[in-house]
Amino acid sequence: MIYLIAGPSHTGKTLLAQKLLERHHIPYLSLDHLKMGLIRSGTIALSPTEDEALTAVLWPIAREMVRTALENRQSLIVEGCYIPYRWQQDFSPEERAEIRYLCLVMSRDYLLRHFTRVRQYANVVEHRLDDSDFTLDTALTDNAEALHQCRLHRLPYLLIENEYPREIDL
């Protein structure tokens, strides 16, 4: 089984992937790690904040890694904000039957009430060197857009509204 965990920055994608790894012993691919490897190696000349351009580079690589895992009947978790909302178009119905997708989205009210806490949990799994571009305004905009896109493309999402769920299973 393949698990795709998507969503805006700071919604808990990496933490969920880490918990799934620990619970089910399924390896995960962090698209942020892939992004930074490509940037730091000089393979791509993009900055870490060029999301659309990064998606255009990262998704084809991740997509083919998913295909390889499917062909080999291996389980894999792929997490990151670089999974396009149109991801289903890239797979056959048979392949899609082996893929579970979830987009984590924080509601406007949740962010307004808990933004300071969200920032405090930013380094639970990974340590961000520079998190200055993550503001309440960017969080509100990015989460509203993610919710809109999930509804538009009829994708499953978990809307975090009151308390952050302790357990999320796909």
**CATH number, position 129:** 3.40.50.300
Cα–Cα distance list, 127 to 90, 124, 131 (Å): 32, 7, 10
The amino acid at 45: A
Q: 66: exposed, middle or buried (C-beta count within 10 Å: 0-12, 13-18, 19+)?
A: buried
- pTM for the whole structure: 0.91
102 belongs to a structural domain: yes
169 belongs to a structural domain: no
168 belongs to a structural domain: no
90 belongs to a structural domain: yes
- Structural domain range at position 21: 2-160
Q: What is the number of domains present in the chain?
A: 1
Q: Are 102 and 6 in contact (CB under 8 A)?
A: yes
166 belongs to a structural domain: no
pLDDT tens for the chain, 170 residues long, are: 999 999 999 999 998 999 999 999 999 999 999 999 999 999 999 998 899 999 999 999 999 999 999 999 999 999 999 999 999 999 999 999 999 999 999 999 999 999 988 888 766 555 555 667 788 999 999 999 999 999 999 999 999 998 888 778 77
